[in-house]
Structure 1
Amino acid sequence: MTSQVRATARWRPQGGWAALAAVTVLLAPLAPLVLWAVADRWAFPAVLPQRWGVRGFSEVLTAPTRAAVGRSAAVGAAVAVCATVLGAAAGRVVGWNLIRRRGLTVALLMTPVGVPPVAVGMGLDTVVLRSGIPQTGAVIVILTVFALPYTVFTVGSRYAHLDPALEEQARLLGATPAQAHTRVTVPSLAAALAAAAFLSFLVGWTDYTVTLLVGGGQLVTLPMLIGAAASNVGNEPVVAALSMLSVLPPLVLLVLAAKVVRALDPPTARPATKSRPAAGGSTP
């Protein structure tokens, strides 16, 4: 029995190689960025930079860059809050089948995934300018719509594994509908809400097209700085340094979100299997 448990707990080569391959695929594109960020000169056909330095970071770490990072973080946070709240409400309807024609509802919720952002931005640019809607608010609203499919189905898949009878039992015990939802259902959704908030934050943090077209160039975020720097020849160290600034916060949030999800939604323990008595032996 003990030997079987130890053998099961050992590292499996197949799973380990798969994890290593996944990490390699995810981190491989970052290698050139890291090299360019610490290179002052890297000309073709050299494999490595001819001169190392931090010129890119010295030109990037300025007040305009810090302001752009703050705007990107603010837009991402606003989109995360709005999309997570709306996605949780819609996920309840989808996960518990509380609406007729569920297939049509799911198809409508998936529409933002199939609509090119450039088409939406070009279509709403003139509307925003003529109606006097604040450009920052319009960008947040549009990006919230694009983030809804991720939040709806992340939270909705969790709702599908929850029993609605738990809320009904809480109401029978004297809780109001709001108390039954916040004290019984929401704690079970905590991990899914954390994952949905992370995904929707990425939509706001990384957006370029909608911010450029609808923002009218007035809302300068970090992706817009990267695009402007990339349009100039010989600016590779600056582009790499800006790209590193855009990559590091999501990586940190990804680690934190993974820890939050693991803490709020621990894996279900498997029941221990009983060992069979040896042939001819007595059962204790």
Structure 2
Amino acid sequence: MDAAIRQIGFRIRSLIPFLPKPNLRHAVGLVLLCVLGIPIAAGLIFTLLPAFGYLPSIGGHTLSLEPWRELFSYPGFATSLRITVTTGLAATVLALILSFSFCAVVHGRMRDRGADGLLAPLLAAPHAAMAIGLAFLMAPSGWLIRLVSPWLTGYTVPPDIATVQDPWGAALVTGLLIKELPFLLIVILAALNQIPVDQQMRAGRALGYGQGIVWIKIIAPQVYAQIRLPVYVVLAYSLSVVDMALILAPSNPPPLSVVAFKWFMAPDVTRTLPAAAAATLQLFVVAGAIGIWRLGERGVAGLGLWWTTRGGRGVSGEPGLKLAAALGTIILSLGLGSLIALAVWSLAWRWPFPDILPSTWSLDIWSRQAHALVWPLGNTVVLAAVTTGVALLLAIAWLEAGDRTGRRDRAIPWHPVYIPILLPQIAFLFGTQVLTLKLQLDGSFLAVAWAHFLFVFPYVLLALADPWKALDPRYARSAAALGASPTRTLIRIKLPILLQPIAIALAIGFAVSVAQYLPTLFAGGGRVATLTTEAVAMASGGDRRVVGVFAFMQTLLPLAVYLAALVIPRIVFANRQALAGRT
């Protein structure tokens, strides 16, 4: 026996030189597995088991289909499912069409650097704050009705019209468009930098094709191949949104994600099992939608190939593109108007209908709510700073490890690090809450920061991956030839060159953390208040002026960080134009 053990030991030692040595990539991968992979996997498992009746803490000791029977027997279940699918798909399709059309029309007139500043307020504003501002615009007593009353409508009192939480979900689709359109515009403009658009446009025009036709047939397919992951993220979010749906979507019955959320939050613990079934169904809906979308991509690609090869040099696409671009401009204008409405309501003391502006302005609401703002504001800032800082460090370590090992991963949709932003939050956050309970972290600041990190890290990595890969590797080779170590090259060469993309990634991560609603509630157990949780809680029936204060402050935080991310690199590299504007 001893001889056999010694022989096995000798064979293992002989293999050691051929085994892969631990490196930075392995270390970062292990950390991400612990803080990202395990919570997601545990969250899905601890949601899936209650969906089939197994939750011993409330008496569910056997697997059954009873939670699904309760879900299917819920009055209005079919309507909830229909609203979920129609609003999610409509918002995604419209956002994609409007963003491509807008870029096609304004291409050559607006560059990405200018777009950053113009779209910054819309990109930085959290979804909940934007939904509240849009409700202030579209409500029967909102700004849009006031602008045309009474001289056009004849209304001297607010009309009895369901303009918000309408049964068709139009308000929710509009709110989603306001947030998703700027996001897609930014990623499309970034993708255009990787394509020789001007040369291809000139070649197409020289062959007699209209500008719109060249864009549709040549430019758009190349761009879409690069932005597939952001499109899937938009689709997944639109199908499973909760915070915007609580404010803008129909409430009787609400979308499926809201049904699951309300059951999870219900005092009756027996609602947990059908809530888990609804959350699991939400996961299936998103997975099925992405699969169908993927099949649709292939079908559209086949039709596009047939359409391209059959010729057609006309300009028939121009009017449609201009109309879609005009609609996109209206959507962006509604977004800016929503933010202005938040600011106005936060300063309004008396604003009778149908006056266009308040008759009395005052800062009294701000002074009265100062004490109530302190604790949520502090939690929001600290959570965003901690999670974004950690996410940025790990993202840089991950990308640097890829450089050192010669593996530069593409931002493919199926990469494990992007799973959290492709899954519905409601589908695994309850299970994550169960995990924090087992670890005795439920309701703690650490648990909430951990939950925020699950979503902040993928967005930070997504924002930083393409600029990092676009960095010329000859810089690192030149530094190595001069005797610089990889770490010194990273600190002295790469990070300064990539200062602006890093700052933008930091701002995006900060905004993502500020916007988190469900992770804060589930992981915090209602004990960690943030500006987002307070604003959404007040939106359903609170004083509009108080809601405006919280929502406007919620918007100001990420906007200030985003503007700083645009300005600081230009100040630091004021005498180096290429570095100041590098993206």
Name the TM-score, length of structure 2 as normaliser. Answer: 0.39
Q: Given that residues 387 and 452 in structure 2 are in contact (C-alpha distance below 8 angstroms), is that contact kept between their aligned partners in structure 1?
A: yes
Residue 34 of structure 1: aligned partner: 343
Whole-angstrom distance in 2 between the partners of 1:175 and 1:14: 42
The alpha-carbon distance between structure 1 residues 95 and 196, as it changes in their structure 2 partners (threshold 3 A), is farther
Classify 1:37/1:92 alpha carbon distance in 2 versus 1 (closer, same or farther; 3 Å): same
Q: 2: CA distance between counterparts of 1:172 and 1:213?
A: 52
- Aligned counterpart for 2:545 among listed residues 223, 233, 237: 237
Counterpart check, 1:202 vs 2:501: no
Give the conservation status (yes or no) of the 8 Å contact 2:426–2:518: yes
Query: Which runs of 4 or more aligned residues in structure 1 lie more than 6 Å from their structure 2 counterparts after TM superposition?
Result: 94-97
- Any gaps of 5 or more consecutive residues in structure 1? 1-12, 270-284
When residues 102 and 51 of structure 1 are mapped into structure 2, their CA distance, relative to the original with a 3 A threshold, is: closer
Instruction: State the match for 1:168 in structure 2.
Output: 477
Q: Map 1:59-74 onto structure 2 (within 5 A).
A: 59-62=368-371, 64-74=372-382
User: Is 2:223 the counterpart of 1:223?
Assistant: no
Give 1:151's aligned residue: 460
Contact 1:88–1:156 under 8 Å retained in 2 = no
Which of the pair has the greater relative contact order for Cα pairs under 8 Å at 6+ separation? Answer: 1
State the match for 1:90 in structure 2. Answer: 398
Change (3 A) 1:113 1:89: same
Q: Distance in 1 between matches of 2:408 and 2:341?
A: 51
Matched residue, 2:564: 256
Bigger mean CA deviation after superposition, 132-141 or 211-220: 132-141
Distance in 2 (CA, whole Å) between partners of 1:129 and 1:207 is 20
AA aligned opposite 1:227: V
Alignment partner, residue 577 of structure 2: 266
Of all paired residues, the percent bearing the same amino acid is: 26
**Separation in 1, partners of 2:404, 2:477:** 14
**Distance in 1 separating the partners of 2:433 and 2:564:** 36
Alignment of 1:119-134 (within 5 A): 119-133=427-441
The AA in structure 1 aligned to 2:479 is A
Deviation at 1:109, TM superposition (A): 2.8
Cα distance per residue 1:208-234 (max 9 Å; x no partner): 21101111111111112212322434x
1:138 equivalent in structure 2: 447
Q: CA deviation at 1:248?
A: 1.7
Q: d(CA) in 2 for partners of 1:31 and 1:194?
A: 26
Number of matched pairs: 255
Shift in alpha-carbon separation, 1:223–1:102, aligned structure 2, 3 A: closer
Asked whether the 8 Å contact 2:395–2:457 carries over to 1, the reply is yes
Q: How far 1:25 moved relative to its partner?
A: 4.9
SS at match of 1:218: coil
Q: How far apart are 1:74 and its partner, in Å?
A: 0.2
Gap runs ≥5 in structure 2: 1-107, 120-328
Q: What is residue 191 of structure 1 aligned with on the other side? A: 500
Task: Give, in whole Å, the separation in 1 of the partners of 2:489 and 2:349.
Answer: 60
**Are the equivalent residues in 2 in contact too, given 1:94–1:106 (CA < 8 A)?**
no
Query: In the aligned structure 1, how far is the partner of 2:383 from the partner of 2:563?
Result: 21
Contact 1:83 1:145 in 2 (8 A): no
